[in-house]
Structure formats: C-alpha cells, structure tokens
Amino acid sequence: MFIFVKKIILKSSDFIFQDQTSHIESDSFSWIAPSNIALVKYWGKKEPQLPANPSISFTLNDCKTETTLSVVKKKDEDSNFSIDVFVDGKLNEEFKPKIYKFFERIVLYQPFLKDYHFKIETQNTFPHSSGIASSASGMAALAMCLMSLEQELNPKMTSDYFYKKASFLARLGSGSACRSIESEIVVWGKNKTIKGSSDLFGIPFPFKIHPKFINYQDTILLVDKGVKQVSSSVGHSLMENHPFAVQRFKQAHQNLEKITECLTTGNLDDFISVVESEALTLHAMMMTSQPYFILMKPNTLQIIEKVWEFRKQTNLPICFTLDAGANVHLLYPEFVKHEVKQFIESELVMFCENNSYICDSIGMGAYQLSI
Ligand code: PMV
C-alpha cells in the first residue's frame, strides 16, 4: 500500500500574519543569536534578498548578539514606525536607518509593527572593532524577538512555523542571518538533493552529522580589525554582470552536494578541499569583478601558507576559510585542539592585529533569555 504524503512548499505569502487572537499592551522579549561561518558561500542575490546559489554554514557558539525588545502599544494609530535603538546601553542613531529599512521590508508579514513603540537594546559578545560582521547575529536576534511578539498575538502558532518565519524575517534583514536561527549546520537556498531546502529561509542540515564534526572548532584570526572595504550589498551586486557568475552558481550547487557527503561520512580531506576552494573562489570573484577588489592582506596570505605547511608536515586536518575580508577562520576537529593551539601561538599570532584571535566552536543556534 502506498501512502501519499503531500509535499508542502512554503511560499512568501504563507508568512503573512493573519490569526491575531490575543491583544497585548506592553511586553518585552530577550534572545541571544549567534554568528555563523559559511562553508559554501552565498555571494550574489536577487530581489527580495534571495540567494543566487545555495549555501551552508556552521553556527557559532560564542560570537553572538543579545537583544531585548520592549514593546508598548501606541495610544493613537499612525502609519509610521516608532523605534529607539540602544547599543551597549547607549542610544544609537547610527543603526536606526538599517532597522527602519528592515521594518519596511517585513511589515507586510508583521503588520502589527505599526501598532507599537519599540525599544531595541542590543550588545555583541565579540569586540566592536574586530572586523567581524554583527549583521547575521544582530538581525537573527531581532527576528527572534519579533517572532516572540507575534507568538503572543497568536499563541496557536507551531514551533516549526515560529523558527521558519524567524529565519524568513532574518533573511530580509541580512541574507546570511537566516542561517543563525537553529541547529549546528544550516542550509539556505534551494538544491535538488536537500529535501526541504528553500531560498526563503534556512533549514537545519537534514542528515546525521558524522561524529568528527561534533564540536568542530573555529578560531578567528583577526588580521584586520577595520571596517570592511566592500559592504556585502556592494559585493553581492558585483555578481550581477560578473563574467563567471553562471559557472560559479553552478559550482556552489556541486560543492554543497560534495560537502553534504563529507559531513555525513566524515571525509575530512574532501571537506578541507571544498572549504578552502570556496573561500578562494569568493575572493577570486571579487578580484575578477568590475570594479575589482583584493580583500586579503599580506598577513592573510602568510597565514594561508603557514596552514598549508603545517598540514603537510603534521597531516592534521586543519583548514581555513574566509569571509569577505582579511580575517582568517581556522576550522579543525576538537581532537586536534591542543596541537592547533600551540601552532597558533607559535606561528600565527604574529600575523594578527595586536596578536588577537577569538576561539569559537559550533553552537546550536538562538535561545531565549527569561526576563
Ligand atoms: O549576509 P550578507 O549579505 O552579509 O552576505 C554574507 C556573505 C558572506 O559572508 C561573504 C558569505 C556567506 O555566505 O556568509
């Protein structure tokens, strides 16, 4: 006997808020959301913030943003947003335009945003000027808070819908933020071999992860703590008329399929080769766009050379990946933590600004704080 299981594919319109059953005058919600590091990179997008290719990332544990959202119902109806933003306890005007833009993008899905005054208090665990982007963790934490508010208005919402919509909203704030919501490894972007994958939101990696990847380590070597030379929005737009774009998007699908295999079988050699190739391809795309950029610094290359030398000499499974900047993420299994720590201290730390680096590892995603 065949059992017919209907495949439910969610569309953007499924995320439009409808069933308000409760009313609230004031409340407050606090969430912590982590950053993430892509193994297969998202680089290139279509409106509205949809990826040109699928990506997959490790969720981090220690680099995160804590956000408290306090809401008070407005006395009189008006059609404007009312928002105050506090960063590290201080009123901050700089982030306001970004938050307004985010609210404008998501108000279709949460029309009640116009009914409340919002106080957003936020802080990061990683240092301000570390060159680590806080947009992924920041937008994910805010999206979680907004979903908590929505849940108060519609308590019948399922947990599955809560997390999918949180990822959907976070994506509209900053693409990669949709990978900072739940689980250790997240896939974002439709790929035929990953069931449930979607361009609209990230999904937990749907296969059993090989034990070698449990508590995988990410040490971030801070080569350049300055502000990014190229913003990600400019970077993504450079893929629009890029001569290699079509081939790159195809390659990302193939690399996602290869890395899926590595994550389930524990093949670290192939894992390393896909991860490093992805990092260098991301930078190659920027070097071959118009205008072109070199985002690595001489010390980025020094570190890469050292990692290759160390791997050749010791046979230890350590590799690097890069974001759209000069900092280097070293990825390695927990069982080589001790040797890698010594290697960093003796051979890499001198290439970091003020000898700084951050030790992180795979985490589980966002979590709520009780107030
Ligand atoms: O989320 P955005 O728009 O900041 O783009 C992130 C792009 C990369 O970090 C370079 C790659 C990725 O997939 O995270």
Enumerate the β-bridge partners of residue 109: none
- Residue 223 pLDDT more than 60? yes
Query: Quick one: which atom of ligand 1 is closest to the CA of 233?
Result: 3
Q: Whats the size of the chain, residue-wise?
A: 371
N- to C-terminal Cα separation, the chain: 52
pLDDT band at 134 (very low <50, low <70, confident <90, very high): confident
Lowest mean pLDDT among 17-26, 31-40, 355-364: 17-26
CATH architecture of 214-361: 2-Layer Sandwich (3.30)
CB of 278 within 6 A of ligand 1: the answer is no
- Average pLDDT (155-162) is 96
pLDDT band at 90 (very low <50, low <70, confident <90, very high): very high
pLDDT of residue 130: 65
Which is nearest to 14 in space by CA: 177, 154, 200, 148? Answer: 200
CB of 232 within 6 A of ligand 1: the answer is yes
Distance 173 CA to ligand 1 centre (A): 12
CB-count exposure of residue 210 (10 Å: 0-12, 13-18, 19+): middle
Query: Quick one: which atom of ligand 1 is closest to the CA of 135?
Result: 4
- Average pLDDT (250-263) is 98
- Residue 243 pLDDT more than 80? yes
Helices (H) and strands (E) in the chain, counts: 8, 14
- Residue 126 pLDDT more than 90? no
The enclosing H or E element of 70 equals strand 55-73
Query: Tokens 């956000």 label which residue?
Result: 67
What is the share, in percent, of the chain residues with pLDDT greater than 70? Answer: 97
pLDDT of residue 78: 84
Distance 299 CA to ligand 1 centre (A): 22
Lowest mean pLDDT among 27-31, 77-81, 112-116, 335-339: 77-81
Mean pLDDT computed over every residue of the chain: 95
Which is nearest to 295 in space by CA: 307, 304, 283? Answer: 283
Domain boundaries, the chain: 23-207, 214-361
Distance 43 CA to ligand 1 centre (A): 7
pLDDT band at 7 (very low <50, low <70, confident <90, very high): low
Distance 36 CA to ligand 1 centre (A): 9
- Average pLDDT (273-280) is 98
Tell me which amino acid residue 359 is: C
Mutate to test the pocket of ligand 1, among 35, 43, 60, 228 (most ligand atoms within 8 A of CB): 43
Tell me which amino acid residue 151 is: Q
- Average pLDDT (258-278) is 98
CB of 238 within 6 A of ligand 1: the answer is no
The radius of gyration of the chain's CA atoms, rounded to the nearest angstrom, is 21
Q: How far apart are CA 163 and CA 166, in angstroms?
A: 5
- Residue 332 pLDDT more than 70? yes
Mutate to test the pocket of ligand 1, among 56, 248, 283, 323 (most ligand atoms within 8 A of CB): 323
pLDDT of residue 28: 97
Q: Could you tell me the fold of the domain covering 23-207?
A: Ribosomal Protein S5; domain 2 (3.30.230)
CB of 51 within 6 A of ligand 1: the answer is no
pLDDT of residue 129: 64
